[in-house]
Amino acid sequence: MLYQVYPRSFQDSNGDGVGDLPGLLARLDHIAGLGVDGVWLSPVFRSPMADFGYDVEDHCEVDPVFGTGDDLDRVIATAHRLGLKVLLDLALSHTSDRHRWFCASRATRTGPFADWYVWADPRPDGTPPNNWLSLFGGSAWTWAPERQQYYLHNFLARQPDLNFHSPGVVEAQLEVVRHWLARGVDGFRLDVVNFYAHDPALRDNPVRRDPTPLDAVLPASPYGFQNHRFDKSRPETLSVLGRLRSLVDTQPGRFLLGEVHDDDMLARMAEYCAGGDRLHSAYAFALLGPEGGAGHLRAVIEGFERQPGGGWPTWSLSNHDVVRVVSRWGAGAPRTAFAKLMIALLGSLRGTVVLYQGEELGLPQAILDDADLHDPVAHAFWPVDRGRDGCRTPMAWTDHAHGDFTTATPWLPVPDDHLALAVARQAGDPESVLAFTRGFLAWRRRRPALCRGRIDCVDVAPPLLGLRRTLGPDTLVALFNLGPAPATADLDALGVPGAGAFDWVAPPDDRPLGTGARLALDPWRMAFGAPPRRT
């Protein structure tokens, strides 16, 4: 299990209102105390922050707002002493428009960097070369008068796309990976990994024939009206993944995790982590969208498990790009019970699972005033889409001013309802979400079938979701009531030999729920069953 840190919002150490690496260093004990295996750090590289670090100006330098390279070295060393792996977030598909590579490429059509970005001549009428769209709205092409050509950007115009058909680009990005491997990093979360390659012929994307064509994560964007056949997820990407894997495998124990944003998310996830010559794992937005019922969850789980290749997936229910799961799926549910249910559900899935900072506190999405919105998504699509700031607000460590995140004015406000859920407020409460998270993750570690076993869905009627985890002779069945009313499972119908005689418990302290042919679950509760232990 990984814990995602959004460094701008974790802990400020120098009173400038922005979280930093020394602040993270001071709070690593909190992360280690949860019982996770590693930390994924959202970008800390030098950046003008047009997209808050995903527009990189130098992949090998730490941005001064976060500290220094020495600070990052100390974070890595301390994390290792605490038994935590460290993954850095690498946005390799694009750079900032201030990157020296892009400045050189934009200046002239000749020279060593001329083909390092995706350049194209205009159509005869001066319009962009094709119909490709930016995820953040509008054309994916911006005119550069210096070259009298358009350049491609799948995101902001200030995030030009690199040309992975150029050997120089691939070699340069491999050198970035070598740099951080030498610094002791344990792996990388690769941002939008399926955007690396594009169709060299620049063919138009076809119209998407889906009756609900809008993007699930960015519903206000017109991006979802196209079938993105030519601007991403190209077969040439696989050779780049192979080279990355070969490099990372020179140092045992390193890990490559890729983010996928694709029309066919589950197929692309499976393709990118199939076999031993691509990524170790991949994740998509299949569990990060608005749908969260038992039927959808089962469809996603079984949909991935049906894919060829037998790859190792990664799953998360919240992150820095989407509304927090307590607000996204839990409307009308009691917050504490629902937050615990989501922790247990996440921890029961096959694969690597990622806990987003604040999820261990059951934080809801922050509701911010218009004047506090900084995200470029909010600027593009307000008021229909208020952007991602609401899931990026600073951690509340105490219920004091600004949650003791900073002594200054924080870059985003800390909501009052988050102060009431602060770490210090929950630390002494055995019924808190924080106590449940710590206890459940410790309980999970003692059950190999839950961590490494095969997964199958069992036949229970919604709103129940049933999962069977199997490792050798060990079987564990998990039931989740995702609805607002009590629900009963017929254990004899689970298709598990002896299920009617299972001992059913409520983790993390194995509170007994009984044995028998039927099991009643209260709303928003979970139960785990296994054959009776022999005495």
Q: Assess whether 408 and 333 both reside in one domain.
A: yes
Q: Which residue has the tokens 């994924």?
A: 40
Contact 402, 410 (CB under 8 A): yes
475: domain CATH number is 2.60.40.1180
Three-state secondary structure call for residue 182: helix
* Dist CA 49 CA 490 (whole Å): 54
Q: Assess whether 411 and 476 both reside in one domain.
A: no
pTM of this structure: 0.97
At 530 the pLDDT is 84
109 lies in some domain: no
Q: Assess whether 360 and 460 both reside in one domain.
A: no
Q: Assess whether 425 and 334 both reside in one domain.
A: yes
- 3-25 burial, b at 16+ Cβ within 10 Å, e below that, comes to bbbbbbbbbbbeeebbbbbbbbb
161 lies in some domain: no
Candidate list 191, 231, 262, 360, residue with the active-site label: 191
Query: Which of the listed residues 442, 469, 484 is the one where a domain comes to its end?
Result: 442
Paired sense of beta strands 503-506 and 526-530, if any: antiparallel
* Dist CA 53 CA 515 (whole Å): 52
Q: Assess whether 286 and 384 both reside in one domain.
A: yes
Residue 55 structure tokens: 């527009």
120 lies in some domain: no
At 393 the pLDDT is 98
- 491-528 burial, b at 16+ Cβ within 10 Å, e below that, comes to beebebeebbebebbbbbeeeebeeeeebebebbbbbb
Candidate list 89, 161, 186, 259, residue with the active-site label: 259
134 lies in some domain: no
Q: Report residue 458: phi and psi, to 5°.
A: -105, 155
100 lies in some domain: no
Q: Which residue has the tokens 């460094």?
A: 7
Q: Which residue has the tokens 């859920």?
A: 421
Contact 347, 476 (CB under 8 A): no
The answer to whether residue 191 is catalytic is yes
Q: Assess whether 236 and 333 both reside in one domain.
A: yes
Q: Report residue 162: phi and psi, to 5°.
A: -75, 155
Q: Assess whether 470 and 393 both reside in one domain.
A: no
Contact 462, 427 (CB under 8 A): no
CA distances from 442 to 301, 313, 348, 414, 435 (A): 24, 22, 13, 30, 11
* Dist CA 235 CA 10 (whole Å): 38
Contact 515, 532 (CB under 8 A): yes
* Dist CA 448 CA 433 (whole Å): 24
Query: Which positions ≥6 away from 515 have C-beta within 8 Å?
Result: 501, 502, 503, 504, 532
414 lies in some domain: yes
103 lies in some domain: no
Candidates 506, 509, 499; CA nearest to 532 is 499
At 419 the pLDDT is 98
* Dist CA 433 CA 340 (whole Å): 6
Query: Which of the listed residues 442, 471, 501 is the one where a domain comes to its end?
Result: 442
Q: Which helix (H) or strand (E) holds 245?
A: helix 237-248
Q: Assess whether 421 and 512 both reside in one domain.
A: no
The answer to whether residue 302 is catalytic is no
Q: What is the pLDDT along the chain (535 residues), one digit of tens a residue?
A: 999 999 999 999 999 999 999 999 999 999 999 999 999 999 999 999 999 999 999 999 999 999 999 999 999 999 999 999 999 999 999 999 999 999 999 999 999 999 999 999 999 999 999 999 999 999 999 999 999 999 999 999 999 999 999 999 999 999 999 999 999 999 999 999 999 999 999 999 999 887 555 566 788 899 999 999 999 999 999 999 999 999 999 999 999 999 999 999 999 999 999 999 999 999 999 999 999 999 999 999 999 999 998 999 999 999 999 999 999 999 999 999 999 999 999 999 999 999 999 999 999 999 999 999 999 999 999 999 999 999 999 999 999 999 999 999 999 999 999 999 999 999 999 999 999 999 999 999 999 999 999 999 999 999 999 999 999 988 999 999 999 999 998 877 777 767 777 788 899 888 888 766 678 899 999 999 887 655 4
Using the 8-state DSSP alphabet, how is residue 270 labeled? H
Cis, bond preceding 383 (omega within 30 deg of 0): yes
* Dist CA 11 CA 406 (whole Å): 7
Give the total number of structural domains in the chain: 2
Q: Assess whether 236 and 202 both reside in one domain.
A: yes
Give the residue numbers spanning the domain of 68. 2-95+167-442
Q: Assess whether 300 and 331 both reside in one domain.
A: yes
Contact 257, 280 (CB under 8 A): yes
Q: Assess whether 375 and 457 both reside in one domain.
A: no
125 lies in some domain: no
- 158-179 burial, b at 16+ Cβ within 10 Å, e below that, comes to bbbbbbbbbeebbebbbebbee
Query: Which of the listed residues 442, 466, 495 is the one where a domain comes to its end?
Result: 442
Q: Assess whether 265 and 377 both reside in one domain.
A: yes
282: domain CATH number is 3.20.20.80
